[in-house]
Structure 1
Amino acid sequence: MLSSRLPKDLSPSPFFAELERVKACAKKDAAEGGLSFIDMTVSSPVKAGLPVEMDTAIETARKEFGCWNPDAAGWKSAREAVVEYYRERGGNFTAGQIILTASTSEAYSVLFKTFCDPGDVILTPMPGYPLLDTLAQLEHLECAPYFLKLKREIASSAAHSRKDKSAAGKSAKFRFVLDTDSLLAAPEKAKILLLVSPHNPTGHCISREEWNAAVRFCEENDMVLVVDEVFGDYALTDKVKRTWEYVFGLCPPEPSLSQSSPSKSFSTEGRESIHCRFNDFWDAGCGDFINLPEDGPKCPIFWLNGLSKAVGSPQLKLGWMAFYAPREHFEEIRAALEFVEDAYLSVSAPAQALGMSLLPKASAYEAQVKDRLLANWQTLREAFPAKYCPEVLGGWYAVVRLGEDDEELTLRLLQEKHVLVQPGFFFDFDEDGWVVISLLQEPAIFKEAVRRMADR
């Protein structure tokens, strides 16, 4: 009777059923005066004491709640608010490159419908977030993995140059990197390469070298490149770039280009200088000059984001995709996306109105959350040696390898320490012993949980 899109068995696995039972016992014990219960899986800033100020935004947006102004791509005024969000960060998109969706999950669904046929394949990272497999399955698509691998690096130092092995060991760093060779095992029916940067849960961010390899792979195999950058605002180091910088460079907050001024150089105050040329801007009509460099990538590229992380408000259900395509395919692709979106018109008027009011607050909110993430990341790496706690370049999560069966370890931490973590197998780690924790928890609570984990 049910669709073949669904799993044959929708009941919880024995492990997750047991996890819920142990969690209920831990909460009950804490309520009766026992050891406090600490949730290290919290994914909502609101639940971690980091809500965005909403009252002013609601008052500003309220008059738009009753509007019905259907537009397949979303209200132009709301798309322009997204454009301004990127401009504040050095990006240079136009409203014609923005498609609004009700969530990032819906953005995936729209892209799958637009570019894939049943039985086609999506390339997804392993380890990675399991929702991606579910979204593909619901569209009658298959997922095939490419891999992130753990890399050991030794920082150069005078001690290391003198072959002081002890000092070299202390300066070693471990981080996840994209195994670009694993892309070569892609099935013939692969249509989309999905990158996640910053990556959930490893904190990996795409380097320029990795980006070039991914773009080249998509160009050579006639594939679409999709970048999930919902954690893009939360880089924990200056080494991290937004991947659209690799295509467009960084532009000033208010670029000024005209036919009479075919090129112009800009200073970006501490960021690398860029050279914007008029010829990089393609006239899409109606005064819409879109930044599509003539020598840009030969594959379509989509960047997914939304209010869920930008202002910590998943409940508002507003996401978007910003896209690049070669000039000869841009109009065709935009028309196809709008055709799919027009069938649903799922983005509500309140969500779009609130997006316009809240996005100007994103930078201030980002700074507040990033302070929390950095403090907790510092606590974590002080508690665990680098080889057990790979470097986090961005995002809200970290992984720790504790060297035991991750199912047993997760249950034992919950039962004995009252600390809830996520087991590594849930994210398809290829070896036992990994757990995934959120960096969002309040610092004092986070520190106590880490102490209990280290003292297991």
Structure 2
Amino acid sequence: MLSSRLPKDLTPSPFFAELERAKAEVLAECAGTGGNVAECLPFIDMTVSSPLRVGLPFDLQPAVEQAKSEFGTWVADAAGRRDAREAVVEYYRERGGAFTAGQIILTASTSEAYSVLFKTFCDPGDVILTPMPGYPLLDTLAQLEHLECAPYFLKIRRENARKLATDESVEGAGGRNDKTAAKNNVILSGAKNPVKSTFRFVLDSDSLLAAPERAKILLLVSPHNPTGHCVSREEWNEAVRFCEENNMILVVDEVFADYAFSDKVSRTWQYVLDERRETRDESADVILDPGVRSTIGEGIHTSSDCDNSASKDLWDAGGGDFINLPEDGPKCPIFWLNGLSKAVGSPQLKLGWMAFYAPREHFEEIRAALEFVEDAYLSVSSPAQSLARPTLAVSAAYESRIRERLLQNWQTLREAFPSKYCPEVLGGWYAVVRLGEDDEEITLRLLREKHVLVQPGFFFDFDEDGWVVISLLQEPAQFQEAIDRIKQ
């Protein structure tokens, strides 16, 4: 009766059923003592994934007041309302990006963006390359489209801390210098007792070579959930080269990209559409005028703007629709996925987007195909689109609050565990710790004996036992208490 898209067994696995029973027992035990610490350790959830649950809500009221007059409007634009797309363009511009409104497609969520891309580029039975370890939702989304997932791998590499501190930091967002990068590396390594070496996850590019013949999409997650790995320029070049050679689409999930911990971290679109267009392009003979930059940021152009700027990267798609497509850019289409779920900690608003690049000879064909799929659903509501500009306009200030919490908790974690047990996190909301036991057993024991809930590594397809995944969002005092209990 049911579709073959669905798993044959929809009941919870025995482990997760046991975990839920243990959690209910712990909560009942604490409730029975009235929460008396002397009789019962308070329950601490270290799997929390929403700022709303840890005292960091985004204040929606001003945005709602500003946008509510537009809630009743409706524009049947498959790509999304232009004013909302321009708000996304401005979001990128403030972070050094140079997308235009014609490169933005709005969706109801990042999950829907995946679905649109799968429908646009894949046939049933095709393969998506996903990272291992990785987030299990990706497999579910692929299965629902009759697609298969094949893994490539992230591996742990040991690096000298001095080398990391002095490596060039031009890849870092914000353009900060090497001295600042070195200082931050010491801080992140543990200011009280800096480590001599660090362990971190990196892309095992050789594992890409095992891709099945029907692989159509390579999916990168940067920052990666749950390891905190961020794609370096070297890794990026390898991924792009692989996609070019195998006629594949490159998709980058960057929902955590505003939460980078280090100057070593770049947004991957900087490798394609970098800040050189904001100053002097050394490969060109012009300097982009600040007034034209502002126009580009708004996604509105005229032919005279383009001629005056003499920017070889702006391509006229027709009717004055100028798109930022470098002539010497990658030969494969690239999509960057993001949304309000993480940018303003508000998944309930249901607004995501994809920003994309494609070679000029394929851009219009790809945009038309994406809009064809989107037009079949028109799933993004008017209230969500109306809230894009007032929420994204203040997103940087909100993100700084979240980042401060994440960094504080990350420091607490690194002071508690040596680097070889707790690999470096470059960004995101999560960290991983290897406790050296069966991860199912340690997860249940931490819950029952220490009243601390973590996620077992097998849920994220770690290829070794003993890993647990910890959210860095929890309130700092609670986080410190939970880490103390785990250390015991």
TM-score by length of 1: 0.92
Paired AA for residue 214 in structure 1: A
Residue 68 of structure 1, CA deviation: 1.4
Aligned with residue 43 of structure 1, among 43, 49, 60: 49
Rounded to whole Å, the distance in 2 between the matches of 1:97 and 1:11 is 41
- 1:190-235 CA distances to partner (integer Å, 9 max, x unpaired)? 0000000000000000000000000000000000000000001000
Aligned with residue 200 of structure 1, among 225, 230, 240: 225
Residue 26 of structure 1, CA deviation: 1.1
Rounded to whole Å, the distance in 1 between the matches of 2:322 and 2:79 is 17
1:131 alignment partner in structure 2: 137
Residue 285 of structure 1, CA deviation: 2.1
Residue 439 of structure 1, CA deviation: 0.3
1:63 alignment partner in structure 2: 69
- 1:380-415 CA distances to partner (integer Å, 9 max, x unpaired)? 000001110000000000000000000000000000
1:160 alignment partner in structure 2: none
Residue 333 of structure 1, CA deviation: 0.1
Q: Is the 8 A contact 2:221 2:253 kept in 1?
A: yes
Rounded to whole Å, the distance in 2 between the matches of 1:93 and 1:169 is 40
The gaps in structure 1 that reach 5 residues or longer are: 158-167, 268-275
Aligned with residue 244 of structure 2, among 202, 216, 219: 219
Aligned with residue 240 of structure 1, among 243, 265, 271: 265
1:353 alignment partner in structure 2: 386
- 1:420 and 2:453 equivalent? yes
Rounded to whole Å, the distance in 2 between the matches of 1:277 and 1:196 is 35
Paired AA for residue 17 in structure 2: A
Cα 1:197–1:62 change in 2 (3 A) is: same
Q: Is the 8 A contact 2:161 2:195 kept in 1?
A: no
- 1:100 and 2:106 equivalent? yes
Q: Where do 4+ consecutive residues of structure 1 move more than 3 Å?
A: none
Cα 1:43–1:169 change in 2 (3 A) is: closer
- 1:291 and 2:324 equivalent? yes
Q: Is the 8 A contact 1:87 1:251 kept in 2?
A: no
Rounded to whole Å, the distance in 1 between the matches of 2:393 and 2:430 is 25
Paired AA for residue 247 in structure 1: V
Matches within 5 A, 1:49-448: 49-156=55-162, 170-250=195-275, 263-264=286-287, 278-448=311-481
Residue 249 of structure 1, CA deviation: 1.2
Residue 266 of structure 1, CA deviation: 8.4
Residue 288 of structure 1, CA deviation: 2.1
Q: Is the 8 A contact 1:90 1:251 kept in 2?
A: no
1:147 match: secondary structure:
strand
Rounded to whole Å, the distance in 1 between the matches of 2:310 and 2:318 is 19
Paired residues, what number?
433
2:198 match: secondary structure:
strand
1:8 alignment partner in structure 2: 8
Rounded to whole Å, the distance in 1 between the matches of 2:157 and 2:95 is 30
Rounded to whole Å, the distance in 2 between the matches of 1:368 and 1:155 is 28
Rounded to whole Å, the distance in 2 between the matches of 1:108 and 1:389 is 31
Q: Is the 8 A contact 2:405 2:476 kept in 1?
A: yes
1:29 alignment partner in structure 2: 29
Q: Is the 8 A contact 2:47 2:470 kept in 1?
A: yes
Q: Is the 8 A contact 1:262 1:278 kept in 2?
A: no
Rounded to whole Å, the distance in 2 between the matches of 1:331 and 1:201 is 35
Cα 1:184–1:328 change in 2 (3 A) is: same
Rounded to whole Å, the distance in 1 between the matches of 2:54 and 2:285 is 49
Q: Is the 8 A contact 1:307 1:319 kept in 2?
A: yes
Rounded to whole Å, the distance in 1 between the matches of 2:196 and 2:25 is 42
Identity %, equivalent residues: 77
Cα 1:308–1:21 change in 2 (3 A) is: same
Residue 252 of structure 1, CA deviation: 6.7
TM-score by length of 2: 0.86
Q: Is the 8 A contact 1:175 1:390 kept in 2?
A: yes
Residue 354 of structure 1, CA deviation: 1.2
The gaps in structure 2 that reach 5 residues or longer are: 164-192, 291-308
Residue 170 of structure 1, CA deviation: 4.1
Residue 90 of structure 1, CA deviation: 0.4
Rounded to whole Å, the distance in 2 between the matches of 1:87 and 1:251 is 13
Cα 1:124–1:100 change in 2 (3 A) is: same
1:263 match: secondary structure:
coil
Q: Is the 8 A contact 1:90 1:252 kept in 2?
A: no
